Every structure is written in C-alpha cells, then in structure tokens.
Amino acid sequence: MNKKKSTSQLTLFVFLSFSLTFSFSSSPTPRKPPPLPILPLPSSPQLQWQLGHMAMFLHFGPNTFTDSEWGTGHVDPSVFNPAKLNAAQWVRVAKDSGFSRVILTAKHHDGFCLWPTEYTNYSVSSSPWRSGGGDVVGELAAAARDAGIALGLYLSPWDRHEPCYGKTLEYNEFYMGQMTELLTRYGEIKEVWLDGAKGEGEKDMEYFFDSWFSLIHQHQPGAVIFSDAGPDTRWVGDEAGVAGSTCWSLFNRSDAKIGDTDYQYSNGGDPFGHDWVPAECDVSIRPGWFWHSLEVPKSARTLLDLYYKSIGRNCLLLLNVPPNSSGLISAEDIQVLQEFNDLRKSIFSYNLAKTALINASSTRGGSNNSWFTPSNVVQEGIDSYWAPEGNQSKWVLSLNLQKLVSFNILQVQEPIQMGQRVIEFHLEVLNEERKWNKVINGTTIGYQRLLQFPTVKSQYLRFVIDKSRADPLISYLGLYIDRYSILSNLSHTTSHASRNRSQILNYHIESNHSQVAAI
C-alpha cells in the first residue's frame, strides 16, 4: 500500500473522529420545557381583552336629551337630534386617553335603537337626525376601525318599548333578530355587553341566555361576552369601579345567575372556580350614566384611585364617558381624561427596578436557563417569566437596585396564559439597620396587581411568595413613585381579602409635579 496514501487516510480518519466527537460534545443541553399550565385558562379573546386594560363606555340615546337615566320607552323619537354628532371624536378621545376599546349602548332599557333596525320603528330611522338616514352604530364602527380601536356593543335585554316584551318566545326571537343585525352588519365586534337590569314591577320575562351566547359566538367568535355571570367576563358586583382586594379570575358560572348575583362572590371570584371569568369594573366619569348638563366629571386623581382599585386588582376598567346632547364628548370630560392619562404616564413611564440585579431562590432548569431566568421579570409583557424549580417550599426574588431608590408602588404580573397561581405574597426591604422590614402583604396577582404603601427608600428588596396554587410564575415586577395620590389613616401593611374598598392604599402626599399641580 502506498505509504503517502495511508498517511492521508489516517489523517482524514482522525479529523472526522475529532469533528464528530466535538460536534456531539458541544451540542446544547436540551431545554427544560415550561411547567404545566394550571386550569382554568383564558381563551384567546379573553387574553386580548385583559391586555387592553381599559375600555370606554358610551351611554347615549334619548335619555341624553330628556335628562333621564332609565327612559320610559314612550319618548317621541323626535327628541333624538344630536346636531354635531362626531363618532370619530369619541374614538379619538378614547385612543388619546389610553383606552383600547369603546362600547356603545346600541339599545338601552327604553328600547330606542341607535341603528336602523328592521324589527321596530323606534330607532334613529324615526328621528330627525340625519333626516332619518343616520346610523350611530355604523358611524362608530367605521371610526373605531379607522383608528384601530376595538368595538363593543350593549343590547339591553330589558325593553320598555317593545310590545312583545313579556312574551317569552316572541321576545327572545325579537332580541336575537336584533342581535344578529348588530353582529353581521358592522364588521368585527370585540365585546357584547348585556345585563339583567330591570325595574321592580316590570313584566316577568325569561331570557334564553344560552341561545344568545351561542349566537354571539357563532357570528363573532373573537368577541367576549359580558354579563353578571360571564361567560367570558363578569360584572365586578358594583357600579363604583372597585374590585375586591383579593380578586380571582377563577369563577364558577354555575354559582352565578344573571340578574340575581351574589355581589361578594362576583367581587372576589373563587380560588376553587372551574371557569375563567375575569371581572370588569364599570363606573361613570359623572354621577349619572347618561350626560346631564348640571353634572361635572370626577377629578383625575379620583380616576387614578379607581385605576389602582380595578386594573390594579386584576380587572379591566370600563369607564363611562357619555356624549352630550350635541353628540360630542364634553370639553370638561376630555380635560379630566387628559390629566388622568398624564398622571399614569408620569407614574408608570419608568420602572425603577429595570436595571436591578436579580437573583432567585431557584430557577427552573438551573440558574443558566435563559427561558426562566429571574431577569425576565423586568422585561415588559407576559410571554416571558421567572419560574422556580419544582416542588420548592421557598420562592423568593432578591433585587439589588444598585443605589438607594425611593418608591411607593409595587406592580406584579403573572403569565395568566399559564393560569392564575399566587395566593399570598409580600415585599421586604433592607433598612438602614441592615434588617429586613416587611413593606406590604398582598393576596392575588393575576394579570396585574398594583399595591400602594408609604414611601420607602432602599437598595435591597425581597419579593416573597408565601402561598401558591402551583409553582408560582412571575412575568413582571415593577417599582414606581406616585407623587400625586393623597391617602391617609394608614394603620397597617396588609392587603387582605375583603369587600372594603381600601385597606392599605393610604399615604401622605410627598410632592407634586408642576404639570399636574392643579389637578
């Protein structure tokens, strides 16, 4: 055999052997998969709804012109004539103020329809507005679509005008006929809102809710349905915009009845619930739901307080901003909404923990696993998260802010696509005596929890999860300073499950920024 050829073959063999060995030995370690989700879980439309944070309710109709809240159903349609109606203005105000969707009262309890329905003459078609050729729903749908704002519609089950109301079969057919019009004429509908409101002494009426829900999901599969009991989002149990300080998205629909709700159950949800039905907090910017000339809007600081007690308690805030009799959102309401938006931006524009050095008591798959590293908690969004090793008894995130920082707001989020898990947690800071002080206790987190406490100054923090339904997962942790909220009578640092609207959110104002000094 040729010696030179033999040497070449040997060299090639050694090279291939080394290459294969290096290739196998340097292959990446298999990733550890995510933990199992814990049921129940949100649907895709429910996730989109939750990510939207805030929706704007638009109560509008004959009541706007008659200084009423619940119309009789017998007001002449000629009263409805909003000479300057501009749905694009409504949508622009909503979008500029940070709202992700608008929900219109397409038909309120008086039965007057804001679209040209074929099932009754009691509608815009019989009014002088646009010479009887107008369509409020259509104009709003077009404006929302152009602005990239989601559209929702409220079709009241209680109808004080319709003659067949009280005749179960006939009225259910009538209602579903109107619902079909709304769901098939105006493009994508993201939320359908209905309730069990009805005055005392009114006709007895059975609503075929299951048939309604099936019809809605058939025509608009991407829509969430709101009612006292879901099926997709539930009433929080009050019209003050305030959720329970413990608020689960978990719920048992079988334990709730539309029009006959256990308010306390709705307010806090159910840690043992089998259904995912998060709460929506509805409240009006004014004392009434419809516009009244003698009423004035709430202050921006009041709206900020409602923000903490709704969005900050795992809910969506549905703020009613009623158009006036000209068909526009009033200037004083717009001013308050702008101030409210400025307040939120000033407080939440920068996470004081963003540059923190973060360690965890454990990390799923080991400390080098980038999928579940504790540094994920300062990355915005719920897609990434910190996960501990399984079957641990201690769950702690330790933060070094790298300098002394003053703060009085804690923001925490869970990746709710994996289920709602945390039952109890607390925050500790290292004080000047090098001792750990508990700053605040909290219960549920869910999509988002905001907790206020007296201003503290520290470099080192510990976020401790005390109890969880399964291995806890944290997607975001933020620290902020609120210099605007005025809270008093702070007596303890615990946020327990309670229907009390405010147990902990109390501290004295520290200072004011000039831009909102007059709010």
Given 3-state DSSP classes, what are the helix, strand and coil percentages for the chain, each rounded to the nearest 5? 30, 20, 50
Q: How far is CA 246 from CA 42, 272, 313, 346, 497, in A?
A: 19, 14, 7, 27, 5
In order along its 519 residues, the chain shows pLDDT tens digits of 444 444 444 344 434 443 444 444 445 677 889 999 999 999 999 999 999 999 999 999 999 999 999 999 999 999 999 999 999 999 999 999 999 999 999 999 999 999 999 999 999 999 999 999 999 999 999 999 999 999 999 999 999 999 999 999 999 999 999 999 999 999 999 999 998 888 888 898 999 999 999 999 999 999 999 999 999 999 999 999 999 999 999 999 999 988 888 999 999 999 999 999 999 999 999 999 999 999 999 999 999 999 999 999 999 999 999 999 999 999 999 999 999 999 999 999 999 999 999 999 999 999 878 899 999 999 999 999 999 999 998 999 999 999 999 999 999 999 999 999 999 999 999 998 899 999 999 999 999 999 999 999 999 999 999 999 999 999 999 999 999 997 543 333 333 333 222 222 222 222 333 223 222
CA 467 to chain centroid = 24
> Distance (Å, rounded) from C-alpha 121 to C-alpha 138?
18
Beta bridge partners of 63: none
The pair phi, psi for residue 22, each rounded to 5°, is: -65, -40
Residue 347 in contact with residue 480, Cβ under 8 Å? yes
106 beta partners: none
pTM: 0.89
Pair of tokens at residue 266: 């709705």
Give the pLDDT confidence score for residue 259 in this predicted structure. 84
DSSP letter at 4? H
DSSP 8-state secondary structure symbol assigned to residue 66 = H
d(CA 54, CA 98): 7
Domains in the chain with CATH codes: 44-349 (3.20.20.80), 357-480 (2.60.120.260)
The predicted structure's pLDDT at residue 106: 98
Report whether 102 contacts 343 (CB < 8 A).
Answer: no
| H/E run at residue 45 | helix 44-51
Is residue 89 classed exposed, middle or buried when 0-12, 13-18 and 19+ CB atoms within 10 A define those classes?
A: middle
Rounded distance between C-alpha atoms, residue 90 and residue 493, angstroms:
41
What b/e readout covers 359-396, taking b as 16+ CB neighbours within 10 angstroms?
Answer: ebbbbbbeeeeebbbbebbbeeebebbbbbbeeeeebb
Best CA proximity match to 451, nearest among 487, 490, 495: 495
E strands in 335-394: 357-360
Tokens of 419: 């289920």
Q: How many CB atoms lie within 10 A of CB 131?
A: 7
**422-430 and 476-480 beta bridge pairing:** unpaired
